[in-house]
Each structure stands twice: as structure tokens, then as C-alpha cells.
Amino acid sequence: MREDLRIGISRCLLGDPVRHDGAVVDAADLVAWLGARVELWPICPEVEIGMPTPRELLELQVSPNGVPSGAHRVRLVGVETGTSWTTRMHDWAARHAGKWAAAGISGVVLKAGSPSCGAGGVPVHSGTLRLSGRGLFAQAVATALPDIPMVEESELERVVAREAFLAAVRARRVR
Ligand code: SF4
């Protein structure tokens, strides 16, 4: 039976072909496991800000005038065209994270490595250096919902890890 818990999740993890290259992510086992237990709230930030699928690959680049991504300030730009999506993503992400906070979202499962969704360890480019940051949507969620249990799908391969995540989500909800 489903618990009264709401978890935000990167939409591509549900198998929707929303990734930049239209590829489908196989996270069916995890999604079925979670979906049998909690209410899932999927979202694809890049689609929501108006990007088509397929679309050019995005990356985070260090910029003193950029927005926060972990310990850095960055721009979110198209790898081929250099088009900046920074302001659009930053502003949309702040608004949507606020909606999740108001809706009682108490846990988040995000796609690893994405410059929009990645919860940590996302490549941040600075010349030839490759630093580590956080996707801009993940950053907004962490700001709007401090201490929310936030994981990437790659952390939930084992059932014991899934159970631990749900325990943290339950604890968050009753606070
Ligand atoms: S990682 Fe996030 S932005 Fe990228 S396709 Fe998945 S849901 Fe969309």
C-alpha cells in the first residue's frame, strides 16, 4: 500500500524520452519499487524551460557572474552553440522548487551527472580544468528545501539503500 509521501523525481527516470538525445533511461525497477510505495512527482527541467527533444547537450561553465552550483558560480550553456540557458533555468528552478516545498515534497530522486538535475559531482568546466558542481535544478531544490533527502538513481540500486532513503523521507515529512 502506498504511503502518504511525495517524492520528486527526474522525469527521464520514468522512461520518458526527454533526454537531450532522446535516449531512454532504464530505471524501471527503481521506479516500480518507489511507485508502489509513494507518490512520484516527475519533472524534466530542460523540457519545462522550453527546450526541444532532441536538443544540444548542455554543460556548466565557471563564470564569476553566474549562479550558484555547489561551491562555484556557473553558467548553463549549450556545448555547440554557446547559448546560455542560465537565467531561464535558474528562475524557473527557483519557482518550481518553491512549488515542491508548498506541495509537501519530502524527498528527491535525481538523474546523476545532469547539469540540470545532478545532485552532486556534475562536471563544471573552467578552461582545461574540470571541477565538480551541482545541477541548477538540484541547487534550487536544496535551497528551497534545506536538508531534504536528495539522492541520485545510482545510489538506489540496492534495496537496503532504497529503504534507508524512504526512512529519511518519512522522518522529513513528520518534522
Ligand atoms: S536529467 Fe533532468 S533535465 Fe535531463 S532529461 Fe532527465 S529530467 Fe530532463
The confidence score (pLDDT) of residue 173 equals: 83
1 pLDDT band, cuts 50/70/90, is confident
DSSP 26-68: --HHHHHHHHTTSEEEEE-HHHHTT--SS---EEEEEEEEEEE
The confidence score (pLDDT) of residue 10 equals: 98
Over residues 162-175, the mean pLDDT reads 91
Distance 138 CA to ligand 1 centre (A): 11
Q: Which atom of ligand 1 is nearest to the CA of 118?
A: 1
Spatial contact of 148 and 139, defined as CB atoms under 8 Å apart: no
pLDDT tens by residue, 43-56: 999 999 999 999 99
AA letter at 145:
L
pLDDT tens by residue, 59-115: 999 999 999 999 999 999 999 999 999 999 999 999 999 999 999 999 999 999 999
The confidence score (pLDDT) of residue 175 equals: 62
Q: Which atom of ligand 1 is nearest to the CA of 20?
A: 5
| Residue with the three cell numbers 556548466 | 60
Does ligand 1 lie within 6 Å of residue 114's CB atom?
yes
pLDDT tens by residue, 113-139: 999 999 999 999 999 999 999 999 999
Does ligand 1 lie within 6 Å of residue 150's CB atom?
no
User: What is the C-alpha end-to-end distance of the chain, expressed in Å?
Assistant: 22
Instruction: State which H helix or E strand residue 125 sits in.
Output: strand 122-126
* Mean pLDDT, the chain, integer: 97
The confidence score (pLDDT) of residue 174 equals: 64
Does ligand 1 lie within 6 Å of residue 63's CB atom?
no
Spatial contact of 124 and 61, defined as CB atoms under 8 Å apart: yes
